[in-house]
Structure 1
């Protein structure tokens, strides 16, 4: 492996499907998802919220960047990586204010590889930035990110739970068009709400349930009661968390409140477990500058994390 480079592991050597993060057909879907979400659910602290906001703003700018825009699912996965990283590491933003942007760029590059789309152009997405990161710096940061994620790059996100909840609420495929419309709207709501930092406080399963209830209320109002009953029957969905998540999602997307039906006969628990965050030493970050080769005003070039981070 060349210096400053990293490679996807063999099991990730094909396109990662956000709706189905597993590689083995033998996996039992919901049991495996619930077991995995505790390792993948981010929990961004208040101290990291500023860094998260800066990274999210850059990813959003790239997503809507006209001819340079990235696919929405690449942007979605990239911000998921940002959240998971910040759950485990802290960025020295006061000393290195460019650190959140380096994290965002590296997560965008990593997400594009996982989604098997056209590679993100490191130079193009930084076209209007004062500070520029070169390829080597971004590759080093990618190694830092995948290390912090413990190489679990096939993220378990709320999108992975949509199929399960839809099958629970629609046990018979009698309304395929309506089911597809509800799912599409739920995906849209999740993507739109993701930049809201409070969404990172909820487990993927709870976020998926809240999005589906909101979508059903808009797209399939006549069957909303069936959706509410189906979600309430799931023993792993905490009704209080579901209500809170629905309120955050509604505020972020400008939709009506999510109504969750509670079942007196069904115990509710949350199975997600957040791992404790570990801080990165401020001395592990360095910054240098060099003149840009192009004409006009010189741009500063940031060196990023040192090679020993890998």
Structure 2
């Protein structure tokens, strides 16, 4: 059975859920960019800024699904942290964005063909289908075909289950609020050094602080006592 990494704990088989949670925590580092690569290359930082600007423009202009956008940024960050770029070429960010969005669309079963065509015309860069496909292949190779990215969203339901919230409507509100927080901070470069699980836990604690402050202490204690959470990391 193929699991939805945005909501991987939707099944009711307790043993399977345990295996999925263990796998998520064990493998999340494989889906993170290497921060040191960016620190040693101003060129890659410049490309990242331009690429994320283009993706943000596409999201607002064509009302793209937020999770699709999140995946594409994850692909861009991981690619730039692994791929050495020696020459400053203005079109690199554009074709990287097209490939990242295209692959994210395939992973979420979305159709972006018209939106990507419009985006190219607006930005004054047009690549033929062969060039975009070739960039997709390069991106896939750099990411070792790990396209079903483990993101903070993969951990929200698990951490919520630790809170023992009986009010299902409150739990849903907390999850939505945490999701909004995660989407809003994705562009922050500093966050690239934190594991997806830590970002998820922090976003949920922020949502608890906003929506159910009286339960903040117990919620933080529940996350801190979790065997999977790195106790050295401050939440």
When normalised by structure 2's length, the TM-score is 0.87
Kindly report the root-mean-square deviation, in angstroms, between the aligned alpha carbons of the 2 structures: 2.3
Partner of 1:127: 121
Aligned to 1:154: 148
* Whole-Å separation in 2 of the counterparts to 1:85 and 1:16: 23
Instruction: Map 1:280-291 onto structure 2 (within 5 A).
Output: none
Write out aligned runs for 1:1-150 (5 A): 17-20=5-8, 26=16, 28-44=19-35, 45-46=38-39, 47=41, 48-65=44-61, 68-92=62-86, 94=88, 96-121=89-114, 122-150=116-144
**Structure 2 unmatched runs, 5+:** none
Change beyond 3 A, Cα 1:17–1:161:
closer
Instruction: For 1:146-225, list aligned pairs within 5 A.
Output: 146-170=140-164, 173-225=165-217
Deviation of 1:97 after TM superposition, in Å, equals 2.2
> Is the CA contact (8 Å cut-off) linking 2:94 and 2:125 kept in structure 1?
no
**Displacement, 1:127?**
2.2
Q: What is the TM-score normalised by the length of structure 1?
A: 0.67
Higher deviation after alignment, 84-93 or 176-185: 84-93
Larger Rg: 1
The DSSP-based 3-state class of the residue aligned with 2:113 is coil
2: CA distance, partners of 1:222 / 1:215? 12
Say if 1:113 and 1:119, in contact at 8 Å, map to a contact too: no
How far off its partner does 1:21 sit? 9.1
Cα deviation for residue 91 of structure 1 reads 3.0
Look up the SS of the partner of 2:150 in the other structure: coil
Report the 3-state secondary structure (helix = DSSP H, G, I; strand = E; otherwise coil) of the residue aligned with 1:230. helix
Q: Which has the higher helix share?
A: 2
Q: Whole-Å Cα distance in 2 between the matches of residues 101 and 30 of structure 1?
A: 36
Q: C-alpha separation between the residues in 1 aligned to 2:195 and 2:234?
A: 10
The whole-number CA distance in structure 2 between the counterparts of 1:137 and 1:242 is 44
Distance, in Å, in 2 between the alignment partners of 1:101 and 1:130 is: 10
1:220 is displaced (CA, Å) by: 1.4
Unaligned 5+ segments in structure 1 are: 1-10, 244-310
Q: Is the 8 A contact 1:207 1:242 kept in 2?
A: no
- DSSP 3-state at the match of 1:132: coil
SS across alignment from 1:131: coil
Q: Deviations over 1:261-306 (max 9, x none)?
A: xxxxxxxxxxxxxxxxxxxxxxxxxxxxxxxxxxxxxxxxxxxxxx
Q: CA deviation at 1:131?
A: 2.2
Cα deviation, residue 240, structure 1: 5.6
Contact 2:208 2:215 in 1 (8 A): yes
